[in-house]
Chains A and B, each alone.
Chain A
Amino acid sequence: MAETDWNPWRRLLALPNESRTKTIVVAFLVSAVCAVLVSGATVMLRPIQTANRAAEEQARIGDLVRGIPGMAALLETSGGTLSTVVVDLETGRAAQDVTSETLETALADQANWTALGAGVDIAGLGQRPNFAQVFLLRDSDGISLVLLPVTGQGYGGRMDAILALHGDMNTIAGIAITQHSETPGLGGRIEDRSWQQSFPGTLIRDDSGAVRFNVARGAATTEYEVDGITGASRTGGGVTRMMQFWLGPDGYGPLLDAIGRGEF
């Protein structure tokens, strides 16, 4: 080349591909352009994605409510709206600095979990989150329905359920088992509508405030019992312990008391 080209871009392109300078510069340029592209797309599309996630969450709750026997009719007659609240299980009040959006991040932090001692850990959980997301249905005179996610240990593994309570916080409105690994045909029948239909109307606590709810061995005899499933006494026991834990003082007890006092 007779004259030196002073344009650095053209000089770069003219370098042989094997040159170290060109290798590094090309690598840098490619990464820089790609980084801008990816960050740009992520930042610009984030609001839409967040909106999508919220809508999906709402749809899932809607499905769940419709899945509970009699709930759809209840929703229609009460005409209320379902609201989502993250509660602090310790105090039974709405959590101050945790919202539905940040709940997942908060629960990833081990500091937001409470280890359960052998005496209180009747549901076999080992530990319990300090925050839980519950759903409240309000109508003109306060809360008419509350949906509580509960979890416990069954015979085959973890069971997840959503429990619906009427406004008096003592009468079960329904239950939906969302996840379980019980023996199909035996304990697995907890997901049958026919079994779940024995829940509505059952009472939880007696006058002294102690949780009396349990799954009977055989047919229910008291108003605190639901029918047991033949051949699935371990599963029934698991459901009993799950309910006793979550409705007791270490579970949603403080929340139920707070709602009962009209603090929500």
Chain B
Amino acid sequence: MTARTAFWTTLTDPLIRQNPVTLQILGICSALAVTTSLATALTMSVSLTVVLTLAAGVISTIRRHIPDTIRLIVQIVIVASLVIVIDQILQAYFAQISRALSVYVGLITTNCLVLGRTEAYARYHPPLPSMVDAFGNGLGYSLVLIVIGAIRELFGRGQLFGHQVLPLADAGGWFTPLSLMLLAPSAFFLLGGLVWAVRSVRTEQVEPPEHTPPLRQEAAE
């Protein structure tokens, strides 16, 4: 029973409480780049979750035999190979989405989230818990991507998964798309807003201020 609860916490913790994107601010670059539509966000989420889980499993299996001197190289080689395989599969079966994701699938290799989890967790735990932890983190990342992707697609194009949800003003409806939502800055705003929202509910996530602002303003020269 305790083992099951432990698994459950490992799996659900990274969803909100320890969310890799909003709390640890990992994997931001891809989160910004691929969230212009829900379909690309979802594909990216699935790819990252699969890579993360498999990499954690493999690395955790051989964790006792990875020489310390080449630890990072071994981990990166494993992650990179998995990413290439996933990329090839996407190109073969999801050609259109693969084009939309362009280089970002390949960049999963350097996604701080993947190396972060293998380095911080899989290296010290047996395969099963490692994979559960990796899967949970993948889900946490996916959750953020899907939320942001949905908001951006809905307000940027009035669509969800390419289906028109809000009738566009051009086509006789009432909705004027916010083109800003499709540009990179909006992802920053949304992500910032999301972090703020999560931290106002869960105040334990708020970081201590790094410096105190000066009490009075210096006169500008």
Contact = CB atoms under 8 A, between A and B. Distances in A.
Interface of A: 13, 17-19, 22-23, 26-27, 30-31, 34-35, 37-38, 41-42, 45, 48-49, 52-53, 56
Contact of A45 (B64, B67, B80, B92): B92
Given A37-B85, A41-B84, A41-B88, 8 more contacts: A19-B67, A22-B67, A23-B67, A26-B67, A27-B73, A45-B88, A49-B92, A49-B95
B65 interface: yes
Interface in B90-110: 91-93, 95
B32 to A, nearest CB: 27
A26 B74 CA distance: 9
A13 B88 contact: no
Given A23-B67, A38-B84, A38-B85, A30 B77 contact: yes
Contact of B91 (A26, A35, A52): A52
13 contacts: A18-B67, A18-B69, A22-B67, A23-B67, A26-B67, A30-B77, A34-B78, A37-B82, A45-B88, A49-B88, A52-B91, A52-B95, A56-B95
B66 interface: yes
Range for the number of chain B residues in contact with chain A: 20 to 34
A18 B62 CA distance: 15
Contacts of A19: 67
Contact of A30 (B74, B88, B89): B74
A37 B87 CA distance: 13
B68 interface: yes
A77 to B, nearest CB: 30
B88 A42 contact: yes
Contacts of B68: 17-18
A40 to B, nearest CB: 8
Contact of A31 (B69, B77, B92): B77
B92 A52 contact: yes
Interface of B: 62, 64-70, 73-74, 77-78, 80-82, 84-85, 88-89, 91-93, 95
A56 B92 CA distance: 12
B70 A26 contact: yes
Contacts of A22: 65, 67
A52 B70 CA distance: 39
Contacts of B77: 30-31, 34
A37 B78 CA distance: 10
B76 to A, nearest CB: 10
B65 A17 contact: yes
Contacts of B73: 27
A31 to B, nearest CB: 6
B92 A48 contact: yes
Contacts of A27: 67, 70, 73-74
Point out which of B77, B84, B88, B95 has the most chain A C-beta atoms below 10 A from its C-beta: B88
Nearest to B75: A30
Given A48-B93, A56-B95, A13 B85 contact: no
B85 A17 contact: no
A27 B70 CA distance: 8
Contact of B65 (A13, A34, A35, A48): A13
B57 to A, nearest CB: 14
Nearest to B93: A48
A83 B92 CA distance: 25
A195 to B, nearest CB: 22
B98 to A, nearest CB: 9
Contacts of B88: 41-42, 45, 49
A83 B81 CA distance: 39
Nearest to A48: B92
Which of B62, B67, B69, B95 is most buried by chain A, counting CB atoms within 10 A of its CB? B67
A49 B95 CA distance: 8
B89 A17 contact: no
B81 A38 contact: yes
Given A37-B81, A56-B95, A17 B67 contact: yes
A256 B14 CA distance: 65
Contacts of A23: 67, 69-70
B67 A34 contact: no
Q: Please indicate which of the listed interface residues A13, A35, A37 has the most CB atoms of chain B within 10 Å of its own CB.
A: A37
Contacts of B81: 34-35, 37-38
A61 B39 CA distance: 25
A23 B92 CA distance: 36
